[in-house]
Structure 1
Amino acid sequence: MADLILASSAHWTVVLAGVAVWGVHMGKTQGLMAVMVADTAPADLHRTAYGRFNLVSGGALLIASFMARVLWDSIGAPATFLTGVMFSAAALVLLFKRGGNLPTKRGA
């Protein structure tokens, strides 16, 4: 939703609304990701699991930021945000094809 809002206009009120929606999204999901790591990793491997999660997340952010810069510089801001929308839609399709089952705690 935030990417759609940000792609729709460069007016400061629209940008502010897009950033607000993005901030709410980040606030609601970042803690959830940490809980998912804790719930799925064996107790003796929590530190390793958090390290790997952060490594993969950081690598994905690096690649995404590079792609965003290339898109922004070559096509423009709306293309950057619309590409984010397409990746989000693809992730949702894959999640629904999988049945929407998220990992659960081992042994529970």
Structure 2
Amino acid sequence: MTPRQRPYLARTVLALGFVSLLTDMASEMMVPLLPVFLTVTLGAGPLALGWIEGAAEAASSFLKFVSGRWSDKKGRRRPIVVWG
């Protein structure tokens, strides 16, 4: 019987995974703090906060739809995925 070996991952894969983790953590930390910043620092009311959050979600949904359609029409998805 051979000793069990640890699965091999290239350093590049590990580095990209770590960077992706940090980017996601930074984004997730900003989401709960944004309403506090808008209300306390900028003095935005609940209505303004709702409009800002709604506009951000609407823009995100619209861009996902448009980029998905463009990706399907273009056919070559790899460059789109690589370049974001």
TM-score range, shorter chain: 0.5 to 0.7
Q: 1:44-74: per-residue Cα shift (whole Å, max 9, x none)?
A: xx21022101210111111221133134332
Structure-2 residue corresponding to 1:70: 69
Higher relative contact order (CA closer than 8 Å, sequence separation 6+)? 1
Q: Structure 1 segments of 4 or more deviating over 6 A?
A: none
TM-score, normalization: structure 1?
0.46
Residue identity opposite 2:27 in structure 1 = M
What's the CA shift for 1:34?
Answer: 1.8
Pairwise mapping of residues 33-72 of structure 1 onto structure 2 (< 5 A)?
Answer: 33-38=34-39, 39-42=41-44, 46-72=45-71
The Cα of 1:20 is off from its aligned counterpart by: 1.6
Aligned length: 70
Q: Distance in 1 between matches of 2:80 and 2:58?
A: 22
Contact 1:37–1:50 (CA<8 Å) still a contact in 2? Answer: yes
Counterpart for residue 28 of structure 1: 29
Query: Which letter maps to 1:40?
Result: L
How far is the alpha carbon of 1:32 from its aligned partner? 3.5
Residue ranges of structure 2 left out of the alignment (5+ in a row) = 1-12
User: What runs of 5+ residues in structure 1 fail to find an aligned partner?
Assistant: 1-11, 84-108
**In 2 relative to 1, CA 59–78 (structure 1 residues): closer, same or farther, beyond 3 Å?**
same
